[in-house]
Amino acid sequence: MPEPTSILARLALARLALARMVPARLGRRGAGALGLAMVLLAASPLHAGEARPLADDPTLEARMMAVADTLRCVVCQNETVAASHAELARDLRAQIRQQLQAGRSEQQVRDFMVARYGDFVLYRPPLQPSTAALWLGPFALLALAALVWWRYLRRASATARRGGSIAAAATPPPPNGAPR
């Protein structure tokens, strides 16, 4: 029997072999399910990703990864370009490698990426008026939460001193002087 060269030829031969091996008690439905399982198992390597080629120059690869570690993947947004598996991150790593091979410094490559994508591409953006919300926002929210908590505790302790319940302190006053 000639050796099949294509995946489709291999699948056709597997189906023929399956038809001979499947016992009659499985019936058409069982044979179809078994055939589908075999096709899915045989087709899974078709979608496997390409292996990353080894770098010709390990120092260049280390420099590229150091720069990519400081840049945010604009697709994933919470990963560095070095860690991301997105297609754009692969392209950015190739572009970084290409610029470093051309003799540009790490800072020049970062500046190029900032010019192209803005300060957002930096994993640690600088403190500027345009990025102040990124740096100060979490502290402002924390201060606001502390203020709300402090007011709640103050109100609860004042109500407890007057003999009321803490739950009554947490409920808003009734509208227009209606009884509680």
**Which residues face 71 on adjacent strands?**
122
pLDDT of residue 109: 92
In terms of Cβ atoms closer than 10 Å to its own Cβ (0-12, 13-18, 19+), residue 81 is: buried
- Say if CB 94 and CB 65 are below 8 A apart: no
What's the half-sphere exposure (Cβ side, CA atoms, 13 Å) at 151?
A: 7
How does pLDDT run across 104-161, given as a tens digit for each residue? Answer: 999 999 999 999 988 888 888 778 887 788 788 899 999 999 999 999 999 888 887 7
- Specify the higher pLDDT residue, 48 or 87: 87
Q: Which two tokens stand for residue 161?
A: 């001193």
Provide the token pair at 70: 């400081």
Chain-wide mean pLDDT for the chain?
A: 78
Long-range contacts formed by 40-48: CB under 8 A, 24+ apart: 42/7, 42/10, 42/11, 42/14, 43/7, 46/7
159-176 pLDDT, tens digit per residue, is 877 776 666 556 666 777
58-121 to CATH, choices 3.30.1330.50, 1.10.8.640, 3.30.110.70, 3.30.2130.10: 1.10.8.640
Q: Give the pLDDT of residue 111.
A: 93
Residue 39, pLDDT score: 66
Domain ranges across the chain: 7-47, 58-121, 132-171
